[in-house]
Amino acid sequence: MSFPKRSYNCGILREENAGNEVVFNGWIGTVRDMGGLIFIDIRDRFGITQLVIEPENQPELAERSKELKSEFVIWAKGTVRKRENPNLKIPTGLIEVLVSDFGILNRAELPPFEIIDDLNTSEELRLKYRFLDLRRPVLQKNFILRNQIYQITHQYFYEKGFLEIETPVLMKSTPEGARDFLVPSRTYNGRFYALPQSPQQYKQILMVSGFDRYMQIVKCFRDEDLRSDRQPEFTQIDLEMSFVEREDVMEVIEGYFSKVWKEIKGIDIPTPFMKMTYNDAMLNYGSDKPDLRFDMKISTLTEILNGTEFKVFADTIANNGVIAAINAKGCGSYSRKKIDELTEFAKKYGAKGLAWMKSTNGEFSSSFAKFLKEEEIENIKKAVNFEDGDLVLVVADSWHRSYTVLGALRLEVAKQSGIMDKIKNDYSFHWVIDFPLLDYDEEESRYIAMHHPFTSPMNEDSELLNSNPAKARAKAYDVVVNGAELGGGSIRIHDQAIQSRMFELLGFTKEDAQSKFGFLLDALKYGAPPHGGLALGLDRIVMTLAGTDNIRDVIAFPKTTTGLSLMDGAPSGVDEKQLKELGISLIKGE
Amino acid sequence: MSFPKRSYNCGILREENAGNEVVFNGWIGTVRDMGGLIFIDIRDRFGITQLVIEPENQPELAERSKELKSEFVIWAKGTVRKRENPNLKIPTGLIEVLVSDFGILNRAELPPFEIIDDLNTSEELRLKYRFLDLRRPVLQKNFILRNQIYQITHQYFYEKGFLEIETPVLMKSTPEGARDFLVPSRTYNGRFYALPQSPQQYKQILMVSGFDRYMQIVKCFRDEDLRSDRQPEFTQIDLEMSFVEREDVMEVIEGYFSKVWKEIKGIDIPTPFMKMTYNDAMLNYGSDKPDLRFDMKISTLTEILNGTEFKVFADTIANNGVIAAINAKGCGSYSRKKIDELTEFAKKYGAKGLAWMKSTNGEFSSSFAKFLKEEEIENIKKAVNFEDGDLVLVVADSWHRSYTVLGALRLEVAKQSGIMDKIKNDYSFHWVIDFPLLDYDEEESRYIAMHHPFTSPMNEDSELLNSNPAKARAKAYDVVVNGAELGGGSIRIHDQAIQSRMFELLGFTKEDAQSKFGFLLDALKYGAPPHGGLALGLDRIVMTLAGTDNIRDVIAFPKTTTGLSLMDGAPSGVDEKQLKELGISLIKGE
């Protein structure tokens, strides 16, 4: 098929182009036959331009234009002229193009939904017709943004001396952490490849190989039961550096975010980012990824309630638990019903209950005040800076649960009370550091690595690996913006003996460790440099910059939370013959 | 671990740095104790610098240096000074660094092979210790080159208005063409994802979605029995453009290769590239990816031997076969033994035999001359431009086999006769066009798509789809350099009716086509623009520029031809529990 090729895209013409002869290729938006004039919007990824046909002067064109419908693909020739009624809402709104000829390149059936930004259609239908959904300017913008981010990323890390190196997708299964996707081998029936959850071990190998600085924009995979903000395949900006300590990695990342925010938002992000220990983040914000755009810090009340006769609090203290509170300023007028809803919310995070006190128009009430001494109440009020109009929410539970629940409540109250709206265009970057190295898994009665098993303990805590592993802190760091973890990393273990000790702590036998991580243990024997790195969640970075909470808005062909691709029907059944070649059969009746 | 960080890398110091105080971090190459002086080479990815210790003045350093061995990781401080005996082989050879202090960052066991370029070690051992193999400067260079190519690629396509968009790795299995790698779904037992052989359908969808120009550097997968130059996972530069015809795609690609060769080799590649039809390529060079750096064209002798009484040739002609020859200039002195070897070589490509004639020092001999008339011999001599010193190789067989065998012989003779050596630094770029649309698969008694089922027929041949499909040519094009196909693409079918007709020709029922390619057929209904694209083999581009024939030299963690990763042991066995979750079991006793 030959056709007149566009001389301009549909978003570029301005007043000064009046008089130009132009050719467009694009999609028809709307066709409006106003009798005296026929207006046709033509659209491509660059914009929309108004075409005009004058039926009186152009009867043949007018006749042919009757066939045109939304989403037809056409070419159109014509002359640019100023509009009599400018449309200031679009960049091309000062001009229109008087059509001299046009042709249909392809027809379109009536789409199941309109190609507009404000769409009141189920996400399911949009995903099924993703090829139409992706035509909506709001989504197109996200992928143009995403492309910009790729380019900035490639350029930045190249300039910083990083080498992009591809690591394998078909790799060894190392069942530690989340569940692997498996790929059966046809050549070696009974054996499987795994898709990478991260190229962690390969990038460390690259450091052992002397590549000095590595980066890769890389797909990673986790076969988990998905939450609404997760996808089975996601994209990381993965990097690793040799001969570095924590601050060297941080500096590179701070420079990266500064560049991205400057180029995309025109915003100067102050560097270096603030550093907050994991412990402080939990104590003050109840989260290892606190949103620091607003205050509402947690107050720990355990000490001032020490010796209380109120049984609930006294028992908590006796069990080494914590009593803590947030002061929701200005929420003192919350009804009992609203507080009950917050209690239900807290229970979802594991709280057994929610104690509260509030004051509105000088009227004080509380769920627990009557059980406490006057002095205790006063101390609480002082601790949380209680004023008329405030609502104080108190949780008494184990250390981790108390802070986690209050951290969740803090965000929920901020949402309900309008704080989130006020800060939605702010960006607060910071590091969370000094994470515990290990976490004790009660169910499996063993330690698991909080970050991953290759994370180095802090120098001053390495003795603790033998004496009190639970107390050891890791050289790990997360970069957090607006309450979202955009990435995390660590300085790695480069000493083979410490790495072996780490596997031992995690309950691996020597044989286990060798069979699962042998190649990395081997590599560490042959001159591994000190090294560390980090992985950034690219999808989340795009979401943050695009201002969307829906990860499916930034992935071209996303899957549902059960892993379905509604457009193409994946996953799907396959031939018995294929399975036989792979040496596997389906377990029936499941 | 804290340590003095490098102030310079190991490849950067020159004469003018004499007097500078410097710190290095790197690997020890060799340690040479010359009595009066101790020389230590320190290496990183940027180069090698010589460190010196003077035992007389620095007894403590000298003593400590006794522990140092190859591949230890160290830091070293010192002062740059000019060398008394410069080493002009390395860029830093005019200077050395008198060490004032050093420390060991990590020790190394004795490596199983030396870290040098010229290595006489089995590839198997090198792959097992890939982390050491990759330290060899010759391999490091390949990945530095590969990184350069990534950067040029991202930048070039960005400037040309392409959007990088990621397509899914977990996609729908479409068993047409090579075998898919399958990934069992845990959520939907009995159903499978497939890893992409190419993002073909998704990139076409992106055009339907209006993204105009798409590109991606993307991993693709084929579960085939691997030849030595294939890998189960390989990397494509994948692109697609809307509102284009063949020449538009070609122009973009020619610009790309020009830029790559200019920036990397400093070579100006003339554009536009020569275009050769598939038919001409086969007739003249016996290959759809001819090496045009040297001549040695094939001569077709069928016509001049029409009516011959020599039964072998006469039968070939009667069966619609072809008699053709190449003239290996200067090979007239080849012995019978050498010609027998060439015959064996030809048989590997399916030849039944090889006829020949030669002349050396005026002495003529031939395997077939005695069966032909004098005049026929003379006509052959004229056709192949026969002179004293020449060896003519003749094949009589079916069309495809005759040319294919002679094409292979042409390359083999060029290798043996030293032609390949002479041209190894030349680059010859060209297009092969006008491929047949379909190929008839005798075994399956049906047509298969020569390129893929989405390739558009030539406008002037679209009628042939009904009358004589085998004659229809495709809007397909391959870009060939030095006898290697670096990429291929086509203008796609954007008309839903033609696409349906194509599936019909390929033997799909309507239901089959809908269940396998339904989402693309649907997409074509809703306003698909004319579009086309191409995929370049990135691994092969790197190989061409690096001057290696071994694909494993340009992939960081390659697999063997049976798909094994010797370093990490993938694929490997997995837990019964994991398989059960996936709803699959192993077929025993295979």
Q: Which two tokens stand for residue B282?
A: 């086969």
Other beta carbons within 10 angstroms of residue A416's beta carbon come to: 16
Q: What is the mean pLDDT of chain B?
A: 95
State yes or no: pLDDT of B442 exceeds 90.
no
The residue type at A382: K
Q: What is the pLDDT of residue B228?
A: 74
**DSSP per residue, A70-85:** TT-EEEEEEEEEE-SS
Q: Please report the beta strands in A495-544, taking only residues with DSSP state E, as ranges in sequence order.
A: 531-537
- Confidence band (pLDDT; 50, 70, 90) for B590? very low
Q: Which residues on A lie below 8 Å from B574 (Cβ)?
A: 173, 175, 182, 192
State yes or no: pLDDT of B446 exceeds 80.
yes
In the numeric block, the tokens 């460790």 are attached to A513
What are B377-436's pLDDT values in tens digits?
A: 999 999 999 999 999 999 999 999 999 999 999 999 999 999 999 998 999 999 999 999
Cα gap B302→B320, rounded to integer Å: 10
Cα gap A215→A218, rounded to integer Å: 9
What are B185-230's pLDDT values in tens digits?
A: 999 999 999 999 999 999 999 999 999 999 999 999 999 887 777 8
CATH of domain A139-276+429-555: 3.30.930.10
Report which of B293, B302, B304, B298 is spatially closest to residue B279, judged by C-alpha positions: B298
State yes or no: pLDDT of A176 exceeds 80.
no
* Three-class SS of A357-392: EEEECCEEEECCHHHCCHHHHHHHHHHHCCCCCCEE
- Confidence band (pLDDT; 50, 70, 90) for B248? very high
DSSP secondary-structure letter at A46?
T
Helix boundaries (H) for B36-109? 59-65
Say whether A560 sits in a helix, a strand or coil: coil
CA distances B424 to B257, B296, B411, B412, B414, Å, are 18, 16, 13, 15, 11
Report which of B582, B414, B536 is spatially closest to residue B153, judged by C-alpha positions: B536
Which of A42, A127, A207, A209 is the mutation pick for testing B, counting most B CBs within 10 A? Answer: A209
Cα angle: B476, vertex B482, B484; to 5 degrees: 50
**Residue A80 distance to chain B (closest CA, Å):** 21
Note whether A45 contacts B211, CB cutoff 8 Å. yes
Per cent of chain B over pLDDT 70 is 99
**Residue A487 distance to chain B (closest CA, Å):** 20
Q: Which residue in chain A is spatially nearest to B475 when comparing CA positions? A: A1
State yes or no: pLDDT of B232 exceeds 60.
yes
Note whether B221 contacts A169, CB cutoff 8 Å. yes
**DSSP per residue, A387-433:** -TT-EEEEEEE-HHHHHHHHHHHHHHHHHHTTHHHHTTT---EEEEE
Q: What is the pLDDT of residue A363?
A: 95
Average pLDDT over residues A510-537: 94
Q: How many residues appear in chain A?
A: 590
A-facing residues of B in 501-520 (CB < 8 A) are 518-519
Decide the pairing of beta strands B363-366 and B355-360: antiparallel
Instruction: Determine contact, residues A169/A195, Cβ cutoff 8 Å.
Output: yes
Q: Which CATH code, of 3.10.20.30, 3.30.1360.30, 3.40.630.10, 3.30.70.360, is assigned to B294-422?
A: 3.30.1360.30
B-facing residues of A in 38-77 (CB < 8 A) are 43-46, 71-73
Q: Which two tokens stand for residue A8?
A: 């301009």
In the numeric block, the tokens 């042939």 are attached to B464
What are A101-116's pLDDT values in tens digits?
A: 999 999 999 999 999 8
What are B182-193's pLDDT values in tens digits?
A: 999 999 999 999
The number of angstroms, rounded, from the C-alpha of A414 to the middle of its chain's C-alpha atoms is 20
Asked if the peptide bond before residue A91 counts as cis, ω within 30 degrees of 0, the response is: no
State yes or no: pLDDT of B238 exceeds 50.
yes
Average pLDDT over residues A516-522: 91
> From the list B105, B244, B248, which residue is nearest A529 (CB)?
B105
In the numeric block, the tokens 């680059």 are attached to B427
Note whether A135 contacts B210, CB cutoff 8 Å. yes
Burial letters B114-133, b for 16+ CB under 10 A, else e: bbeeeeeeeeeebbbbbbbb
* Three-class SS of B324-363: EEEEECCCCCCCHHHHHHHHHHHHHCCCCCCEEEEEECCE
Decide the pairing of beta strands A391-397 and A355-360: antiparallel
- Domain boundaries along the sequence of chain A: 15-106, 139-276+429-555, 294-422
Q: What is the pLDDT of residue B175?
A: 66
**Residue A28 distance to chain B (closest CA, Å):** 9
What are B54-103's pLDDT values in tens digits?
A: 999 999 999 999 999 999 999 999 999 999 999 999 999 999 999 999 99
Cα gap B135→B43, rounded to integer Å: 10
Note whether B173 contacts A572, CB cutoff 8 Å. yes
Q: Which residues on B lie below 8 Å from A184 (Cβ)?
A: 182, 184, 584
Q: Which residues on A lie below 8 Å from B167 (Cβ)?
A: 556-557
Architecture of domain B15-106: Beta Barrel (2.40)
Note whether B585 contacts A584, CB cutoff 8 Å. yes
End-to-end CA distance of chain B: 52
In the numeric block, the tokens 């390359």 are attached to B411
Average pLDDT over residues A167-187: 89
State yes or no: pLDDT of A590 exceeds 50.
no
State yes or no: pLDDT of B176 exceeds 70.
no
Q: How many residues appear in chain B?
A: 590
What are B342-367's pLDDT values in tens digits?
A: 999 999 999 999 999 999 999 999 99
Instruction: Determine contact, residues B536/B506, Cβ cutoff 8 Å.
Output: no
Average pLDDT over residues A240-254: 97
State yes or no: pLDDT of A272 exceeds 90.
yes
Q: What is the pLDDT of residue A233?
A: 96
- Confidence band (pLDDT; 50, 70, 90) for B295? very high
Note whether B147 contacts A163, CB cutoff 8 Å. yes
The residue type at B13: L
Cα radius of gyration (chain A): 30
Instruction: Determine contact, residues B201/B174, Cβ cutoff 8 Å.
Output: yes
Dihedral of CA atoms B121, B124, B129, B134 in degrees, nearest 10, equals 70
Phi, psi of A240 (to 5 degrees): -155, 145
A-facing residues of B in 345-404 (CB < 8 A) are none
Give the number of beta-carbon pairs within 8 Å between A and B: 380
Average pLDDT over residues A491-500: 94
Cα gap B378→B372, rounded to integer Å: 10
Average pLDDT over residues B259-287: 97
Decide the pairing of beta strands A213-221 and A163-164: parallel
Per cent of chain B over pLDDT 90 is 88
Q: What is the pLDDT of residue B173?
A: 86
What are B325-347's pLDDT values in tens digits?
A: 999 999 999 999 999 999 999 99
Q: Which residue in chain B is spatially nearest to A5 when comparing CA positions? A: B243
